[in-house]
């Protein structure tokens, strides 16, 4: 599987990593425990079975609009095989347009294979993952107020942080490697 991901500006990346560290320091699940060199704050736009050269060219054209505004605002939780605590991304028109352009690019390329419907426009729940855990180790209910992980984060003390999506990459889950995309 290949992802198409947006990457935040340096200040936002530092703020997200600080939240990861705060969760870890509190003894809670945190992305800080994921030590693979490709682990970094990102926003997944879509996934595909493959991204051939032609698709990458079209993705690079779609991603040429970067940078676009970024707004992280509060937390969101997902449940399933894993529980996820995430910083919610509040998309503006520019981000929604970029997401749709990436989705269409992959959808219109048969070699990409079937797309994961959770990333489809209208269903997509944009977020930056803060923590993942299996049922057995997840504290239920979440023991801290929603704003607690953000206290002391510059500009993020209320769980709101603004910045910019400045870059893009693809992650290959087979080789566990990344490649840059976009301008």
Q: What H or E segment, with its residue span, contains residue 167?
A: strand 160-172
| Complete DSSP assignment for 2-21 | EEEEEEE-HHHHHHHHHHHH
Q: What is the pLDDT of residues 69-118, one digit of tens each?
A: 999 988 888 887 778 889 999 999 999 999 999 999 999 998 899 999 99
How large is the average pLDDT for residues 106-134? 92
End-to-end CA separation in angstroms for the chain? 23
Beta bridge partners, 177, equal: 172
Amino acid 145: pLDDT: 53
Q: Give the number of C-alpha atoms closer than 13 A to the C-alpha of residue 130, restricted to the C-beta side.
A: 30
Amino acid 143: pLDDT: 56
Amino acid 72: pLDDT: 93
Q: What is the pLDDT of residues 20-42, one digit of tens each?
A: 998 888 888 889 988 888 899 99
Higher pLDDT among residues 139 and 54, named by residue? 54
Q: What is the pLDDT of residues 135-178, one digit of tens each?
A: 655 555 455 555 566 666 665 556 788 999 999 999 998 888 89
Q: How far apart are CA 157 and CA 149, in angstroms?
A: 8
- Domains of the chain as residue ranges with CATH: 2-181 (3.90.1140.10)
In this prediction, residue 64 has a pLDDT band, given cuts at 50, 70 and 90, of very high
Using CA atoms, how far residue 144 sits from 22, 75, 76, 151, in Å, is 12, 12, 13, 11
- Helix, strand, coil shares of the chain, percent, nearest 5, are 30, 30, 35
Q: Give the number of C-alpha atoms closer than 13 A to the C-alpha of residue 153, restricted to the C-beta side.
A: 27
Amino acid 153: pLDDT: 65
Which SS3 state, helix, strand or coil, does residue 142 take? coil
């Amino acid at each position: 599987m290949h992802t198409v991901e947006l990457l935040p500006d340096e200040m936002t990346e530092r703020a997200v990593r600080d939240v990861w560290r705060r969760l870890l320091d509190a003894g809670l699940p945190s992305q800080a425990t994921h030590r693979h060199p490709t682990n970094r704050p990102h926003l997944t736009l879509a996934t595909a079975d493959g991204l051939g050269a032609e698709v990458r060219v079209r993705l690079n054209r779609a991603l040429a609009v970067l940078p676009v505004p970024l707004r992280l605002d509060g937390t969101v939780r997902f449940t399933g095989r894993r529980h996820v605590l995430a910083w919610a991304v509040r998309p503006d028109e520019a981000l929604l347009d970029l997401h749709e352009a990436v989705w269409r690019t992959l959808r219109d390329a048969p070699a990409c294979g079937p797309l994961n419907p959770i990333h489809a426009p209208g269903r997509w729940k944009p977020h930056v993952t803060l923590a993942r855990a299996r049922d057995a180790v997840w504290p239920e209910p979440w023991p801290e107020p929603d704003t607690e992980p953000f206290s002391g984060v510059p500009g993020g003390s209320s769980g709101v942080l603004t910045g910019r999506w400045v870059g893009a990459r693809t992650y290959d889950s087979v080789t566990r490697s990344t490649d840059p995309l976009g301008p």
